[in-house]
């Protein structure tokens, strides 16, 4: 066993040379007891590569003749008439029995439209949407989680009443209307967002409810990132296109992937340690809700939208053969230029869009793996060590079809979306300290109090926020509604690389400091600032932002 690997990490991972089944069937009783607390011996065996990668279906709007009942109240939404919806959705939150692997038992999950991940919203700028989300959950849940819900579109530029503020939760039998105007922040096309996601945000239960399944992709397209690799518009990016729609994957080369980790009892039913306030780590890593699936690919370019769905694990994603790929977007936002790299690092809720060209794989190679090289043994932070390829966890197996000369009209342009100007006046500098006090996670030495305004922000102005963390932990800090620009990282100006971008999640490791340019436009009301290690968020590392005229 390599000296930098503990027994716990070794048992929790999948070595390239053996696979999960061999590791889990060869453990001794002593190793099992060492792994847990003497009663929890870890998840049962799950032989890898037995099921294909799964995809959610696209969200389908209501037909024009079908109205929502009761009718929408326009007065409940900011600028509703200005951005009158052209599409209406009616989505259900309900309990569903699912399993991540054929060897496991069915477990109750909380789902959007009975799917994990939830349905994929395919959105376009300039097409406002109204989505009614109905809570059809039972009045109580077994084990963990809460039947109340409130949905947040992460990275969405939405009015406060549709943002999914954590205190706006509602109970079974009720619904909430979300107005998603799908406009550029400040009317600036450079502010376009592409890879967003939505998830539950119920105060104190975000970790448990998302762990039970309440998350899905929300994809936005415009005239540049158009979703068409054959787009005749000369300015269009023409990136690999075609998002899978449930089982329909033929001709689909734009692939959303959400990474989560989970833990199961001896029967293979979903469990969670809700008393651990450091962060919850599972011993099974899932892609789109399945344990170690496989995916057949052609020898051509694919766009992968990578999302760390949490609750607490960080990832360093790479290909098992070390092949480089193009990193084109950080969080929901296109980089100014693509970056050629052999890995991307994701904190919880961070995203990265990459383009992999499988035509560059040697002709005799028919299998390749997407692997996680991040070593993490505790929920509050990853380790400094990076795992060797041979000891990394295999997340997804690519089966590469043998045919060559596959048509591929897609491309990776040399320039993508420029950064917007930082033109709003900076009116103040503010320090945001991420810390711990009396066993609770704090922001500026305070736990979340919904009755208290922590930051009052004047719409249309800008501030410099100095993000600081201390202690032996890591915090992926998320700011609702707008993206920010990183100015300095550990006192070094950011002029290139993956941080030279618009971002909504800022991963701060032990002792890190980061200065960011912050502004809020277009909307008023309550928004949240919080750690997206959702266990930290729930206990109670969150602050209230009030945007005022």
What is the spatial distance between Cα 57 and Cα 119, in angstroms, rounded to a whole number?
Answer: 5
Across 335-355, average pLDDT: 98
What is the spatial distance between Cα 185 and Cα 180, in angstroms, rounded to a whole number?
Answer: 13
**Nearest Cα residue to 216 out of 197, 234, 230, 235:** 197
Q: What is the pLDDT of residue 480?
A: 98
- Verify cis geometry, omega within 30 degrees of 0, for the bond prior to 311: yes
Q: What is the pLDDT of residue 485?
A: 97
Q: Is the dihedral of CA 369, 344, 385, 30 positive or negative?
A: negative
Give Rg (Cα) of the chain: 22
Structure tokens at 307: 């999302």
Q: Is 294 helix (H, G, I), strand (E, B) or coil?
A: strand
Q: Which of 5-19, 115-129, 341-355, 463-477 has the lowest mean pLDDT?
A: 5-19
* Each residue's pLDDT tens digit, 206-248: 999 999 999 999 999 999 999 999 999 999 999 999 999 999 9
- HSE, CB side, 13 Å, CA atoms: give it for residue 70: 5
**Nearest Cα residue to 100 out of 492, 395, 458:** 395
Across 273-300, average pLDDT: 96
Cβ atoms 347, 532 nearer than 8 A: yes
Left, alpha or beta for 438 (phi > 0: left; psi -120 to 50: alpha)? left
For each of the domains in the chain, give its residue range(s) and CATH number, in order of start.
426-548 (2.60.40.420)
Q: What is the pLDDT of residue 40?
A: 54
What is the DSSP secondary structure assignment for residue 389, as one 8-state letter? Answer: G
Cβ atoms 56, 399 nearer than 8 A: no
What is the spatial distance between Cα 244 and Cα 255, in angstroms, rounded to a whole number?
Answer: 7
Give Cα 441 distance to the centre of its chain. 21
Across 134-161, average pLDDT: 97
Across 274-292, average pLDDT: 96
**Nearest Cα residue to 82 out of 123, 124, 126:** 126
Across 98-104, average pLDDT: 97
* Each residue's pLDDT tens digit, 409-448: 999 999 999 999 999 889 999 999 999 988 899 999 999 9
Tell me phi and psi for residue 306, to 5 degrees.
-95, 130
In the chain, pLDDT over 70 holds for what percent of residues? 93
Place of tokens 């100095």: 466
* Each residue's pLDDT tens digit, 481-522: 999 999 999 999 999 999 999 999 999 998 999 999 999 999
* Each residue's pLDDT tens digit, 10-46: 223 322 222 222 222 222 222 232 323 334 569 999 9
| Helices marked H in 371-418 | none
Q: What is the pLDDT of residue 126?
A: 98
* Each residue's pLDDT tens digit, 463-484: 999 999 988 899 999 999 999 9
DSSP assignment string, 437-477: ETTEEEETTB---TTS-SEEEETT-EEEEEEEE-SS--EEE
What is the spatial distance between Cα 473 and Cα 164, in angstroms, rounded to a whole number?
Answer: 27
Distance between first and last Cα of the chain: 60
Confidence of residue 402 (pLDDT cuts 50, 70, 90): confident
Instruction: Please list the residues that pair with 435 across neighbouring strands.
Output: 442
Mean pLDDT (the chain) is 92
Q: What is the pLDDT of residue 39?
A: 46
Asked if residue 5 has pLDDT above 60, the reply is no
**Nearest Cα residue to 429 out of 385, 390, 461:** 461
Across 401-413, average pLDDT: 91
Residues found in the chain:
549
What does each C-alpha distance from 103 to 110, 270, 290 come to in angstroms?
A: 21, 13, 12
Q: What is the pLDDT of residue 361?
A: 95
Q: Is 437 helix (H, G, I), strand (E, B) or coil?
A: strand
Asked if residue 167 has pLDDT above 80, the reply is yes
* Each residue's pLDDT tens digit, 45-71: 999 999 999 999 999 999 999 999 999
- pTM score of the predicted model: 0.92
- Give the strands of the sheet with 87-98, arranged side by side: 107-112, 87-98, 129-135, 175-180
Confidence of residue 8 (pLDDT cuts 50, 70, 90): very low
Across 192-212, average pLDDT: 98
């Amino acid at each position: 066993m390599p000296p930098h690997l503990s027994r716990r990490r070794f048992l929790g991972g999948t070595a390239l040379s053996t696979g999960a089944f061999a590791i889990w069937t060869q453990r001794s009783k002593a190793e099992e007891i060492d792994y847990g607390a003497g009663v929890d011996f870890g998840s049962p065996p799950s032989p890898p590569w037995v099921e294909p990668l799964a995809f959610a279906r696209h969200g389908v709007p209501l037909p024009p003749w079908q109205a929502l009942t009761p009718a929408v109240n326009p007065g409940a939404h900011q600028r509703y008439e200005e951005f009158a919806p052209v599409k209406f959705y009616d989505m259900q939150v309900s309990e569903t029995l699912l399993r991540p692997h054929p060897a496991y038992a069915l477990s109750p999950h909380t789902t959007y439209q009975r799917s994990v991940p939830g349905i994929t919203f395919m959105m376009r700028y300039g097409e406002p949407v109204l989505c009614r989300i109905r809570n059809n959950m039972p009045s109580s849940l077994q084990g963990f989680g809460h039947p109340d819900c409130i949905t947040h579109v992460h990275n969405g530029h939405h009015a406060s009443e549709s943002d999914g503020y954590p205190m706006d939760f509602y109970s079974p039998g009720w619904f909430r209307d979300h107005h998603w105007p799908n406009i550029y922040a400040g009317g600036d096309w450079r502010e376009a967002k592409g890879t967003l996601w939505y998830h539950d945000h119920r105060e104190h239960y975000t970790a448990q409810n998302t762990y039970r399944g309440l998350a899905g992709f929300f994809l936005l397209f415009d005239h540049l990132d158009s979703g068409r690799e054959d787009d005749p518009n000369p300015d269009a990016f023409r990136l690999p296109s075609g998002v899978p729609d449930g089982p329909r994957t033929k001709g689909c080369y734009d692939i959303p992937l959400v990474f989560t980790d989970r833990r199961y009892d001896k029967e293979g039913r979903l469990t969670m340690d809700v008393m651990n306030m450091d962060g919850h780590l599972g011993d099974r890593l899932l892609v789109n809700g399945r344990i170690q699936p496989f995916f057949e690919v052609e020898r051509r370019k694919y766009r992968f939208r990578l999302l760390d769905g949490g609750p607490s694990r960080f990832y360093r994603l790479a290909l098992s053969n070390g092949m480089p790929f193009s990193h084109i977007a950080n969080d929901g936002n296109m980089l100014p230029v693509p970056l050629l790299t052999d890995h991307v690092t994701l904190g919880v809720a961070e995203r990265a869009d990459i383009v992999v060209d499988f035509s560059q794989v040697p002709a005799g190679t028919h299998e390749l793996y997407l692997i996680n090289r991040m070593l993490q043994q505790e929920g509050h932070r990853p380790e400094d060590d990076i795992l060797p390829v041979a000891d990394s966890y295999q997340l997804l197996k690519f089966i590469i079809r043998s045919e060559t000369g596959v048509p591929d009209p897609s491309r990776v342009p040399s320039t993508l979306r420029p950064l917007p100007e930082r033109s709003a006046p900076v009116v103040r500098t503010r320090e945001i300290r991420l810390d711990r006090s009396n066993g609770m996670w704090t922001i500026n030495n305070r736990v979340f109090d919904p009755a208290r305004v922590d930051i009052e922000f004047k719409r249309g102005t800008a501030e410099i926020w100095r993000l600081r963390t201390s202690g032996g932990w890591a915090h992926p800090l998320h700011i609702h509604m707008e993206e920010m620009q990183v100015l300095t990282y550990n006192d070094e100006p950011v002029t290139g690389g993956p941080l030279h971008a618009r971002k909504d999640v800022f991963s701060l490791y032990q002792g890190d400091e980061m200065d960011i340019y912050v502004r809020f436009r277009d909307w008023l009301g309550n928004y949240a600032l919080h750690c997206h290690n959702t266990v930290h968020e729930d206990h109670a590392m969150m602050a209230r932002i009030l945007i005022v005229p």
